[in-house]
């Protein structure tokens, strides 16, 4: 079935949602990039999930999606619409929801999170999960792949919520995150707490805790897990559901604790996803106070080396400090007749908390096609880097640059420039290289 999903790229669901590209899936479901119309009439990216409508619990699943659509919380993925459709004589259910740029499972193969990062990530996750419980639902799938990043916010998935005591639609499909009582198929709030404990250990060590289900003993918390997460994980991973901490108790423990600093130096080889190699770690930043998140640098990006010597180079430095970051997009206007050929530079706007998470430098290269009037006709990412967040900021800024008009008698009015944006904790640098006259 998974091969069939991809073949449906280019089809349209319910006459309104084009399946632009296949993002991933399994035999049970598939997720595609699609478009929705905003209140202002603009097209916006969204994700659409398709599952077979032939299952016995299809009606229940559809009702669950529609109920989740009414949940409104800043740290929950919004569901826009859900319904039935048919593609190539196949009956399907679909749910359209916010498009997440990244999820936590994409970061863990590269490195574990630091205690500081988890300390900032946990509150928005706990708030969202508490909200779900207060509304009479159970999440049922707390794990790294369901902790997502949209712009500068941490969000939990909402397309698989259940009701306490009811059997999960995926009952019988074992998951490494499942609590002992999952064998009955029923979901519970205590089960969410168990999965949260498993997730905490994994994000701090890149591994799930060792646990022998047959012996019915609590999982072993690795010594590398710092406090207070070691205690929290231990309290979450109690075999007896009634002995597990509540979300309020976890929040209280985090609020009263001073998190120990992360272990110094590189991760131990046995916990590294790429043994024998030392890479510059990515940080999955969590905006302190704003409960936000984006994934950033995995590796340093090598500065571009154009095939021909650059003819015109300009650089600029973004204003530094909180006041600058909260201002409108930074621009610099030059004399249209100056030698550089750059008339206006627009700098990406990065939140102060995002900068604090940067290790080293993040480099993003954008190629722009300039028309005869000096406007950017097209901007494309030449070297996007590992973070969609910073790549998006650079691309949006590049589109607003302005260059000198083409000289009279020039052989070609179209010109090409390459802009390199370098993000660091102290500010943003940009260099502009003309690569085609």
87 shares its domain with 114: no
Domain membership of residue 323 (yes or no) is yes
- CATH assignment at residue 153: 1.10.510.10
Q: Do 410 and 328 share a structural domain? A: yes
* CATH code: domain of residue 428: 3.30.1150
CATH number of the CATH domain containing 90: 3.30.200.20
225 and 176 together in one domain = yes
pLDDT digits (tens, 9 = 90+) for 91-127: 899 999 999 878 899 888 888 999 988 998 899 999 9
The answer to whether 80 and 36 are in contact (CB under 8 A) is yes
- DSSP H helices, 81-139, are 115-134
Least confident of 116-125, 266-275, 305-314: 266-275
Are 255 and 373 found together in one domain? no
Using pLDDT thresholds of 50, 70 and 90, give the confidence band for residue 247: very high
Which structure tokens are listed for 325? 């970051």
Q: Is residue 198 part of a domain?
A: yes
Instruction: Retrieve residue 400's tokens.
Output: 């607003």
**Is 186 inside any structural domain?**
yes
Q: Give the end-to-end CA distance of the chain in Å, rounded to a whole number.
A: 50
Q: Burial letters for 175-202: b for 16+ Cβ neighbours within 10 Å, e otherwise?
A: eebbbbbbeeebbbbbbbbbbbbbbbbb
Residue that is last in its domain, among 40, 65, 98: 98
- Counted domains in the chain: 3
Q: Are 138 and 89 in contact (CB under 8 A)?
A: no
223 domain-assigned: yes
Q: Do residues 32 and 86 share a domain?
A: yes
For 4-33, what is the mean pLDDT?
Answer: 87
For residues 113 and 58, state if they share a domain: no
Which tens digits make up the pLDDT trace of 206-244? 999 988 887 778 999 999 999 999 999 999 999 999 999
Give a yes or no: residue 268 inside a domain.
yes
Same domain, 254 and 322: no
Looking at the fold, whether 57 and 126 belong to one and the same domain comes out as no
For residue 15, the enclosing domain spans 2-98
Q: How confident is the model at residue 321 (pLDDT cuts 50, 70, 90)?
A: very low
The pLDDT of residue 56 is above 70: no
Q: Is 280 exposed, middle or buried (0-12, 13-18, 19+ CB in 10 A)?
A: middle
Put residue 167 in one of left, alpha, beta given phi > 0 → left and psi -120 to 50 → alpha: beta
CB 417 within 8 A of CB 406: no
* 187 found inside a domain: yes
Query: 325 and 241 in one domain?
Result: no
Q: Is-above-0.85 flag for pTM?
A: no
Could you give the angle at the alpha carbon of 38 between the alpha carbons of 8 and 349, nearest 5°?
A: 100
Determine what percent of the chain is predicted with pLDDT higher than 70: 74
Confidence label for 277 from pLDDT (cuts 50, 70 and 90): very low
Q: Is residue 301 part of a domain?
A: no
Average pLDDT value for residue range 21-38? 85
What value, to the nearest 5°, has the Cα angle with vertex 228 and ends 253 and 234? 90
Mean pLDDT in residue range 414-422: 89
The verdict on residue 94 lying in a domain is: yes
Asked if the bond preceding 228 is cis, omega within 30° of 0, the reply is yes
pLDDT confidence of residue 310? 39
**Which is nearest to 150 in space by CA: 124, 130, 132, 173?**
124
């Amino acid at each position: 079935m998974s091969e069939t999903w991809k073949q449906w790229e280019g089809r349209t669901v319910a006459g309104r949602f084009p399946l632009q590209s296949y993002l991933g899936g399994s035999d049970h479901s598939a997720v595609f990039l699609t478009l929705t119309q905003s209140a202002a009439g603009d097209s916006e990216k969204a994700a659409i999930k398709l599952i077979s409508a032939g299952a016995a619990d299809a009606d229940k699943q559809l009702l669950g999606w529609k109920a989740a659509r009414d949940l409104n919380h800043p740290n929950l993925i919004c569901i826009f619409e859900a319904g039935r459709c048919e593609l190539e004589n196949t009956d399907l259910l679909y749910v359209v929801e916010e498009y997440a740029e990244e999820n936590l499972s994409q970061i863990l193969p590269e490195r574990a999170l630091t205690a500081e990062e988890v300390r900032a990530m946990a509150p928005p996750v706990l708030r969202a999960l508490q909200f779900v419980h207060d509304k009479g639902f159970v999440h049922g799938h707390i794990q790294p792949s369901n902790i997502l990043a949209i712009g500068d916010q941490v969000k939990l998935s909402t397309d698989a919520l259940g009701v306490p005591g009811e059997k999960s639609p995926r009952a019988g499909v074992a998951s490494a995150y499942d609590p002992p009582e999952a064998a009955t198929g029923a979901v519970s709030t205590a089960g969410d707490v168990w999965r949260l404990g498993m997730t905490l250990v994994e994000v701090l060590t890149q591994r799930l805790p060792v646990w022998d289900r047959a012996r019915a003993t609590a999982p072993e918390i690795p010594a590398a897990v710092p406090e207070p997460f070691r205690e929290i994980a231990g309290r979450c991973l109690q075999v007896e559901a009634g002995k597990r901490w509540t979300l309020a108790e976890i929040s209280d423990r985090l609020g009263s604790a001073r998190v120990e600093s992360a272990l110094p130096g590189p991760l131990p080889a046995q916990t590294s996803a790429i043994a024998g190699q030392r890479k510059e770690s990515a940080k999955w930043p969590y905006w302190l106070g704003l409960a936000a998140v984006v994934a950033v640098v995995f590796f340093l990006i090598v500065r571009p080396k154009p095939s021909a010597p650059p003819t015109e180079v300009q650089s600029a430095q973004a204003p530094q400090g909180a006041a600058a970051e909260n201002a409108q997009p930074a621009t610099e206007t030059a004399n249209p007749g100056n030698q550089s050929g750059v008339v206006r530079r627009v700098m990406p706007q990065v939140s102060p908390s995002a900068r604090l998470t940067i290790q080293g430098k993040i480099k993003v290269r954008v190629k722009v096609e300039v028309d005869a009037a000096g406007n950017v006709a097209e901007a494309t990412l030449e070297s996007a880097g590992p973070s969609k967040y910073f790549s998006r900021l650079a691309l949006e800024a590049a589109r607003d640059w302005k260059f000198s008009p083409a000289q009279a008698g020039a052989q070609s009015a179209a010109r090409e420039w390459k802009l390199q944006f370098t993000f660091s904790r102290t500010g943003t640098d940009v260099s502009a290289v003309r690569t085609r006259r």
